[in-house]
A = this chain, B = another copy of it.
Amino acid sequence: MDSTEIEQFLKIKKSEIEEQLPEYIAKLSAPEKLKEAMTYSLKAGGKRIRPLLLLGTLHSFGKVEKVGLPVACAIEMIHTYSLIHDDLPSMDNDDLRRGKPTNHKVFGEASAILAGDGLLTLSFQIIADSMEEQLSPKQKLALISGLAKAAGPEGMVGGQIADMEGEGSVLSLKDLEYIHIHKTGKLLAYSVMAGAIIADANKEQLYMLEQFAHHLGLAFQIRDDILDIEGSEELIGKPVGSDTENNKNTYPALLTIQGAKEKLSFHIDEAKRFLYSVDMKHDILNYMCNLIASRDH
């Protein structure tokens, strides 16, 4: 596909994901206030980069993307729950997310905690109950186990604690990478791996794609840090320079902005090297690499 076709593909898949997400909530038999709070954050926009990575990986293996839609939605629910809990007063205490009031600002703190708990729990139910006949029970279990590892104490939750603990002190590059690999990297990597599991990739392909996703995840975070300095306030949806102001540990703070850009290039190159070592179509994932390296929000 040329880049116009890829953009079209990503646009269509994004709207399929965004159509499906609130459907899962709408059909729940649960109190309306909870459903509203869960739906509010699911509908609050975002790049949907994780579910798109999953569907893009399926496309790369020549598989019908539809079979991956439930797992793609489950990942986005986990990501959404993590943003709701991160924004809470006792965590980052953010009033705005993507330019809109955060969940607890609209629904109150208790409801926001429960909306997050609800999304986290529902994500596992969606995979376990997925009716896709192409998925075997063994594949579903591998998908559930992988999601729990990526999101739980050995993944995202662990990274979040490490991030909090590192606040106020200057971290080494190694410590900073630990935080990012766990806080954002593992779930991004899982998005690719989930696509590969659904596509029945072999062990070597899984390994190469894990390396690909690892470097992609770090590149994603470095770009985030650079955008905080060089980005447009309107596009990133928060004040430029807020990381510096809050004395956050970032790649530019540790490596200078030039050093951070070199690091970004390195990880994008590595990601592509592993990507092209897998015998499959590369166009969409290659495009997403470039997108992540140069995104403006």
Residues of A at the B interface (CB closer than 8 Å) are 25, 28-31, 33-35, 38, 85, 88, 90-91, 108-111, 113-114, 116-118, 120-122, 124-125, 128-129, 136-138, 140-141, 144-145, 148-149, 151-154, 157-158, 160-162, 164-165
Contact = CB atoms under 8 A, between A and B. Distances in A.
B124 A85 contact: no
A35 B144 contact: no
Contact of A153 (B35, B137, B141, B153): B35
A52 to B, nearest CB: 23
Given A30-B157, A85-B113, A122-B153, 17 more contacts: A30-B153, A30-B154, A34-B153, A34-B158, A85-B114, A90-B108, A110-B164, A114-B160, A117-B117, A117-B157, A118-B152, A122-B148, A124-B144, A124-B148, A125-B145, A125-B149, A128-B148
B117 A129 contact: no
Contacts of A124: 124, 144, 148
A88 B112 CA distance: 13
A122 B150 CA distance: 10
22 contacts: A30-B157, A31-B165, A33-B161, A34-B161, A85-B114, A88-B110, A88-B113, A90-B108, A111-B164, A117-B152, A121-B152, A121-B153, A122-B152, A124-B124, A125-B144, A125-B145, A125-B152, A128-B141, A129-B145, A136-B137, A137-B141, A141-B141
A21 to B, nearest CB: 14
A180 B26 CA distance: 23
A198 to B, nearest CB: 15
Contact of A34 (B109, B114, B125, B157): B157
Contacts of A158: 30-31, 34, 118
A161 to B, nearest CB: 4
Contacts of A154: 28-30
Contacts of A157: 30, 34, 114, 117-118, 121
Of A25, A144, A164, which is in contact with the most chain B CB atoms at under 10 Å from its CB? A144
Contacts of A91: 110, 113
A38 B114 contact: no
A128 B124 CA distance: 10
